[in-house]
Amino acid sequence: MNVALGLLGCGTVGEGVVALTVRRADKIKDLTGFYPVIEQILVRDLHKTRNVSLKPGQLTANASEILENPNISIIVETMGGIEPARSYILEALRRKKHVVTANKDLIALHGPEILQVAEESGVEVLFEAAVGGAIPLVGPLKENLTANEVTDLKGIINGTTNFILTKMTESGADFDEALAEAQALGFAEADPTSDVDGLDAARKLVILASIAFHTKVELGDVQVEGIRRVTARDVQYAKEIGCVLKLIATGSDRAGKLSLRVRPALIPGNHPLAHVSGSYNALFVRGDAAGDLMFFGRGAGSMPTASAVLGDVIALLRNIGLGVAGSPASRILLEKQVVPDDLPYRHYVRFSVDDMPGVFARIANMFGDAQVSMETVLQKRVSHGEAEIVIVTHEIPSNRIDGLRDALLRMTNVRAIHCVMPVEPLSD
């Protein structure tokens, strides 16, 4: 039996979905009893060249043709953005069509509203592709790991920034050069703001944390810092002390107190996340029963993302076949408090000082007075009369690092503080 799908968007992901649906149609029929056919596809520009073969009349620029088509029972949304994608999805749900979406921005900002309407209409919304591209993350957190109390999420969930930071580490390039290369190779978008400023990772963290911690998480709950201020110098110093610099998203649940954060951090070279390079993504999950798990793979791209989209379509077709698609979900929503991340971390501090006798001794005294213990110290003369000092501290609470920064700035021979960054523990 054929099942008609309506596709909203035929760009990078949409084209992958078209190609993979054709390639796997027979297998899907064997697995589910339904032979999938993409009946109509919404685009903006009907005359653009597409990288997949399409039937005459398959494209439309009129969303109503798809949303009002009674043959279409599943809408696959790969157009992106908030509007009109939100309105189209809500209309599809109200018309009792199931929805599969890759749209992390929409799910992060309007997930609760969309899930509510789906539940009221007795249909499903699936969004595995919204986080981590090909990597199964939503499914394991929603299904396979539900016997656990998940306490920690930690990962690299933005491929663009990981590509940029990997380039900076491997070639010594500065941020602007690495970003330009990422754009030239198609890894970074023309407007890379949401990636480099950490917003894309924060939105993905909102989705993951909501599912893992069974609560409602909002974007404003996440402390976000991107990678714009990361310099080639800090990347090279990180290497010298056996670390790599990564944009890390963390979520923790300590007895109902949640901390959610995206920020650049130094990762020790023997930490599993240190080896996640280029546009790859990885997520570390800790469950009280499962222990530590690590998910790794391609976080974006046409076919990797299509793999996740089509996986959701197949799950949906199975449920339709069993007559259970859209059954009320047993979602637990717990009240939890969001608190700032004040866990103690080691810190990397880079600053420049006057290169003259006694200065380092006074700095060492000042660290002692501030109750901050030094773990690693590097000093280099950068120009006549100026030295640069890099200190990695032992673990200190974040409020103490602010006091240390203020005390350093008050010292007469300290010229500037260039960078203060956390260093992730070797094992959590």
Q: How far is the CB of 397 from ligand NAP (least distance, A)?
A: 36
Is residue 258 a contact point for ligand NAP (CB under 6 A)? no
Query: Looking at 3, 12, 123, 244, which residue binds ligand NAP (CB under 6 A)?
Result: 12
Query: Looking at 23, 44, 254, 275, which residue binds ligand NAP (CB under 6 A)?
Result: 44
Helix (H) or strand (E) holding 292: strand 291-298
Indicate if the alpha-carbon torsion angle 183, 186, 189, 193 is positive or negative. negative
Helix (H) or strand (E) holding 403: helix 398-410
Query: Looking at 40, 158, 302, 393, which residue binds ligand HSE (CB under 6 A)?
Result: 158
Which of ligand NAP, ligand HSE, none does residue 247 bind (CB under 5 to 8 Å by kind)?
none
Distance CA 375, CA 369 (A): 16
Is residue 80 a contact point for ligand NAP (CB under 6 A)? yes
Eight-class DSSP state of 138: H
Contact 390, 421 (CB under 8 A): no
Query: Cβ contacts of residue 135 below 8 Å, gap of 6+?
Result: 281, 282, 283, 295, 296, 297, 298, 299, 308
**Is the bond preceding 84 in cis, omega lying within 30 degrees of 0?**
yes
Query: Looking at 12, 21, 121, 160, which residue binds ligand HSE (CB under 6 A)?
Result: 160
The site that binds ligand NAP (CB under 6 A) totals a number of residues, namely: 23
End-to-end CA distance of the chain: give it in Å, rounded.
50
Query: Looking at 11, 136, 278, 344, which residue binds ligand NAP (CB under 6 A)?
Result: 11
Two tokens, residue 38? 């993409």
Catalytic sites, residue numbers: 204
Query: Looking at 28, 168, 300, 320, which residue binds ligand HSE (CB under 6 A)?
Result: 300
Query: Cβ contacts of residue 273 below 8 Å, gap of 6+?
Result: 154, 155, 156, 246, 248, 267, 282, 284, 424
Which of ligand NAP, ligand HSE, none does residue 158 bind (CB under 5 to 8 Å by kind)?
ligand HSE
Contact 359, 340 (CB under 8 A): no
Nearer to ligand HSE, 32 or 302 (CB): 302
Is residue 78 a contact point for ligand NAP (CB under 6 A)? yes
Nearer to ligand NAP, 41 or 392 (CB): 41
Nearer to ligand HSE, 15 or 200 (CB): 200
Is residue 200 a contact point for ligand HSE (CB under 6 A)? yes
Which of ligand NAP, ligand HSE, none does residue 200 bind (CB under 5 to 8 Å by kind)?
ligand HSE
Residues 98-137 that bind ligand HSE (CB under 6 A): 133
The interface region with ligand NAP, picked from 190-198, 221-229, 265-273, 299-307 by CB under 6 A, is: 299-307
Nearer to ligand HSE, 103 or 121 (CB): 103
Distance CA 132, CA 298 (A): 7
Phi then psi dihedrals of residue 240, to 5 deg: -60, -30
Helix (H) or strand (E) holding 347: strand 346-354
Is residue 159 a contact point for ligand HSE (CB under 6 A)? yes
Q: How far is the CB of 314 from ligand NAP (least distance, A)?
A: 18
Residue bearing tokens 């969001």: 338
Contact 362, 311 (CB under 8 A): no
Is residue 195 a contact point for ligand HSE (CB under 6 A)? yes
Which amino acid appears at position 346 of this protein?
R
Chain residues in the site for ligand HSE (CB under 6 A): 133, 158-160, 195, 200, 299-300
Chain residues in the site for ligand NAP (CB under 6 A): 9-14, 42-45, 48, 78-80, 84, 102-104, 129, 133, 300-301, 305
